[in-house]
């Protein structure tokens, strides 16, 4: 009887622990997504077109808000409408499935031996922007 009760309590504890872990991860991603969204909007404001060429002035504030801890790293990529690299890392990870009609998408990826959270944002003459932290 005591063994069955202990097994039942351990099972309940395990199920509750999984639920709490999932909720905590989902909440952390939601909070981090808001930060990524703000930083990507800040970068998008630095986009300009001069003589039919896309120019990007990267705002330092966008990177400062991404580096909340000393071990945080930021990787980014900005592509033009034809897929040409404007600035950033050329080999950023793409999602498995991406709806190109969506203005923004968030996903998890593995890049340069780091687990990262990625945002893709599209705007007019800039087809994709990746900002990773």
- Could you list the beta-strand ranges (E) of the chain: 47-50, 53-56, 75-80, 85-88, 104-111, 114-123, 126-132
Residue 19 confidence (pLDDT) above 70: yes
Q: What is the pLDDT of residues 31-43, one digit of tens each?
A: 888 888 888 888 8
Write down the mean pLDDT value for the chain.
Answer: 81
CATH class, range 2-132: alpha beta
**74 CB-side CA count, 13 A:** 22
pTM: 0.71
9 — pLDDT class (breaks 50, 70, 90): very high
Mean of pLDDT values over 97-113: 78
Q: Which residues contact 71 (CB under 8 A, 6 or more apart)?
A: none
What confidence score (pLDDT) does residue 4 get?
92
Q: What is the pLDDT of residues 68-102, one digit of tens each?
A: 767 778 888 888 777 788 888 888 887 777 666 67
What confidence score (pLDDT) does residue 133 get?
61
Residue 15 confidence (pLDDT) above 70: yes
d(CA 66, CA 131): 9
What confidence score (pLDDT) does residue 17 get?
96
Q: What is the pLDDT of residues 115-129, one digit of tens each?
A: 888 888 877 656 566
């Amino acid at each position: 009887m005591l063994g069955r009760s202990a097994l039942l309590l351990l099972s309940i504890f395990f199920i509750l622990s999984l639920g709490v872990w999932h909720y905590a991860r989902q909440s952390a991603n939601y909070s981090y997504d808001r930060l990524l969204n703000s930083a990507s909007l800040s970068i998008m404001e630095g986009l300009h077109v001069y003589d039919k060429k896309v120019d990007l002035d990267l705002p330092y504030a966008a990177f400062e808000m991404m580096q909340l801890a000393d071990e945080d790293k930021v990787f980014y990529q900005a592509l033009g409408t034809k897929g040409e690299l404007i600035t950033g890392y050329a080999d950023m990870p793409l999602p498995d499935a991406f709806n190109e009609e969506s203005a923004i998408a968030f996903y998890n990826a593995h890049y340069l031996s780091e687990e990262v959270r990625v945002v893709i944002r599209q705007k007019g003459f800039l087809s994709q922007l990746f900002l990773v932290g």
